[in-house]
């Protein structure tokens, strides 16, 4: 499992696509930190710069997360390399290793963004609570991504569906805040934005998603 985790994390961090995404989020954090007073003036609300940063990350991070990791299991299933991998490890360790690597990627991203915000805005206290909140949020998101990758079993299909979900989930999440439609409200309980406060509900929801991923993977 440790070898799978290290390999997955290394491949996630050292690709051109990953480096572009990291640079994009660093620029976003700098831009929001610098112009947060203007953003508050336009929105008419007084939100902390950290809240604005995490709002941007939880919106854009879902899309980029699906775009990057949707094929993580589907790829090795399609090219049948999974049969060689599970001869050296178990399926559950494969799932856990990849799941942890995805979450650590987002933790690294968050930890790179926070110092920029603190430096640009002169924030003295480290936002531990907001950081934990964002980590819990992405634990739920990555469990959905993992389930998608296991269910689709084809990399192209997984990537396509992932990009679609990456667009749809944030839109539904934002729309459910103002919508009174009972269908939208019901669907919102499955979205990570329902649990973007500092609560552990999303952890309990991420467990069944990860379990279903492992259970389906047993039959591959």
- Rounded Cα distance between 196 and 202, Å, is 8
16-25, 117-126, 132-141, 161-170: lowest mean pLDDT where? 117-126
Q: What is the overall mean pLDDT for the chain?
A: 77
Instruction: Quote the pLDDT of residue 104.
Output: 92
- Is the pLDDT reported for residue 157 higher than 80? yes
CA angle (26, 27, 29) in 5-degree steps: 65
Band the pLDDT of 197: cuts 50, 70, 90: low
- What is the pLDDT averaged over residues 168-175? 83
Instruction: Quote the pLDDT of residue 164.
Output: 92
Whether the CA torsion 6, 8, 11, 12 is positive or negative: it is negative
Residue with the bigger pLDDT between 129 and 46: it is 129
- Is the pLDDT reported for residue 76 higher than 70? yes
- What is the pLDDT averaged over residues 158-172? 89
146 Cβ contact list (under 8 Å, min separation 6): 69, 72, 73, 95, 98, 99, 102, 209, 210, 213
- What is the pLDDT averaged over residues 182-210? 62
Instruction: Quote the pLDDT of residue 198.
Output: 46
Residue with the bigger pLDDT between 124 and 66: it is 66
Instruction: Quote the pLDDT of residue 160.
Output: 92
- Rounded Cα distance between 92 and 85, Å, is 12
């Amino acid at each position: 499992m440790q070898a799978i985790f290290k390999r997955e994390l290394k491949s996630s961090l050292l690709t051109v696509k990953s480096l572009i995404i990291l640079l994009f989020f660093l620029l976003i954090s700098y831009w929001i930190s610098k112009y947060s007073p203007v953003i508050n003036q336009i929105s008419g609300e007084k939100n902390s710069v950290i809240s604005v940063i995490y709002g941007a990350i939880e919106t854009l991070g879902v899309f980029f997360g699906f775009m990057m990791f949707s094929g993580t299991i589907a790829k090795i299933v399609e090219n049948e390399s999974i049969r060689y991998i599970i001869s050296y490890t178990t399926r559950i360790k494969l799932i856990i290793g990849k799941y942890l690597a995805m979450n650590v990627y987002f933790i690294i991203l968050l930890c790179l963004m926070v110092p920029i915000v603190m430096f640009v805005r002169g924030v003295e206290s480290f936002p531990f609570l907001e950081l934990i909140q964002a980590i819990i949020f992405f634990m739920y998101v990555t469990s959905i991504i993992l389930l998608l990758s296991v269910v689709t079993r084809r990399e192209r299909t997984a990537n396509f569906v992932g990009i679609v979900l990456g667009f749809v989930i944030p839109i539904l999440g934002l729309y459910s805040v103002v919508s009174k439609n009972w269908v939208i409200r019901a669907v919102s309980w499955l979205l990570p934005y329902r649990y973007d406060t500092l609560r552990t509900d999303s952890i309990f929801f991420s467990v069944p998603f990860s379990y279903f991923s492992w259970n389906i993977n047993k039959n591959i």
